[in-house]
Structure 1
């Protein structure tokens, strides 16, 4: 524990676990948002590099559960259907992950907070992009590149994918599943990439491991709540929480 407390105080660790529970809860209810909540919450009192390291293992574990909830065969079907997004996204994720230690803190926070806030504002305002022709490989590649670029630096690559899946009217169960597959593959790549970048090391991996239990507990509760309470209301609450988180990151980027 001495290593952990050299990174974060006991009070900070308790707060980090509470944030992980909240992130897991919302992840269980709507299928995404864990990295955004973790990076926003943790970076409010920790350096961005430690906050990013902290979200890696909880994200890896919860996405594996989400991707495989309907079984490996269904997950493989989703991989084949969205292979362009996955391939391009992973390539950009690996490339951009090496910029974490190069970019200044304000730039990094702005690159995370801006897309999150914009996505939430569009959704809360009721705008739902629609592609009458369905899936478009060119657009899928473009969305994958944007999502991967942001994901490599911040661990957050959900909003572009969610917007694209909504635009092509993806069936609800498959939309949740492909999110788990995409985020899971991205989490595996992110783990390897940040071992190379030095963000995930012998010290920070212990902090990330400590957040596993609260994140999984939160996700278990979220799945139970999802089965019992109207999802639309929780989705609205989630968007408002994410909007506040994104605006807070922008505030920190602009004001320090």
Structure 2
């Protein structure tokens, strides 16, 4: 047991397990927010490096499930459709991971939290913000790069993807699958990058592996909720959760 606790007290370890169960449930229900919940909660009682590595293996496991829930052919079609976002994100995760220790935490939390909160709040208020078709390719590249820049230093690259998906009005099933595919490739890039930096040490990865089981249990419970949500309600839940996500990022910045 000591091998997976990474030097934590029993209270801290089991708190991390409980938080991961909740985060897995939310991800199963709406397709995202697990890294956001984990990094927000973990940062309160774990060292930054352990908090970042802790979310890596649960992220890989849950995103594999989410990506292939409708089968391999649909997952591959999704990869092809969102290839611009994926390339931009994966490249810049690796780039930004190299400067993990040099990025002021307050800076990136503010730069991500303000636009995400504003975008989601406006959408939640009923103001449509659809991207014109002629601008979608450029927006996809740009948001992929932004997601990668944040992902390498924080483990969070979901908000830029959600901004793109909400702006293009994709259906619920495709939206959840796209998140799974993008998050899976991002999770692989993040793990590879931090194996290189040494942050993903064997001790920290053992702790991360222990969190896979509660993440998967939570996700299976969340799937039951997702399957009952109609398109309009799912979109509202996504917008509302994105507002809370942005506000939480701002809270962390000012704390």
TM-score (norm 2): 0.88
Aligned equivalents of 2:119, 2:154: Cα separation in 1: 16
Query: What residue in structure 1 maps to residue 186 of structure 2?
Result: 186
1:250 is displaced (CA, Å) by 3.2
Aligned to 1:29: 29
- After the TM superposition, which of the residue ranges 171-180 and 49-58 deviates more from structure 2? 171-180
Asked whether the 8 Å contact 2:90–2:148 carries over to 1, the reply is yes
Q: 1:103 to 1:185 in 2, by over 3 A?
A: same
Q: Is the 8 A contact 1:41 1:245 kept in 2?
A: no
**What does residue 76 of structure 1 align with?**
76
Give how far 1:114 is off. 4.6
Does 1:52 find its partner at 2:42?
no
Uncovered stretches (5+) of structure 2, i.e. residues with no partner: none
By how many angstroms is 1:246 displaced? 4.5
State the Cα distance separating 1:219 from its structure 2 match.
Answer: 0.1
Q: Structure 1 regions of 5+ residues with no counterpart?
A: none
SS in 2 for 1:7: coil
Between the aligned partners of 2:193 and 2:6, the Cα distance in structure 1 is 24
Question: What per-residue deviation string (whole Å, max 9, x for no partner) do you get for residues 33-52 of structure 1?
Answer: 11111111111111222111
* Matched position secondary structure for 1:199: coil
Q: Does 1:203 align with 2:203?
A: yes
- SS of aligned partner of 1:130: coil
Deviations 1:203-254 (A, max 9, x none): 1001101110100000000011222456766765666566555444433433
Q: What is the RMSD of the two structures over their aligned residues, measured on CA atoms?
A: 2.4
Q: Give the distance between the partners of 1:242 and 1:13, measured in 2 at CA.
A: 28
- Shift of the 94–14 alpha-carbon distance from structure 1 to 2, 3 Å rule, reads same
| Counterparts of 2:110 and 2:7, CA distance in 1 | 24
CA 1:6/1:34 → structure 2, altered by over 3 Å: closer, same or farther?
A: closer
Question: Number of residues paired by the alignment?
Answer: 255
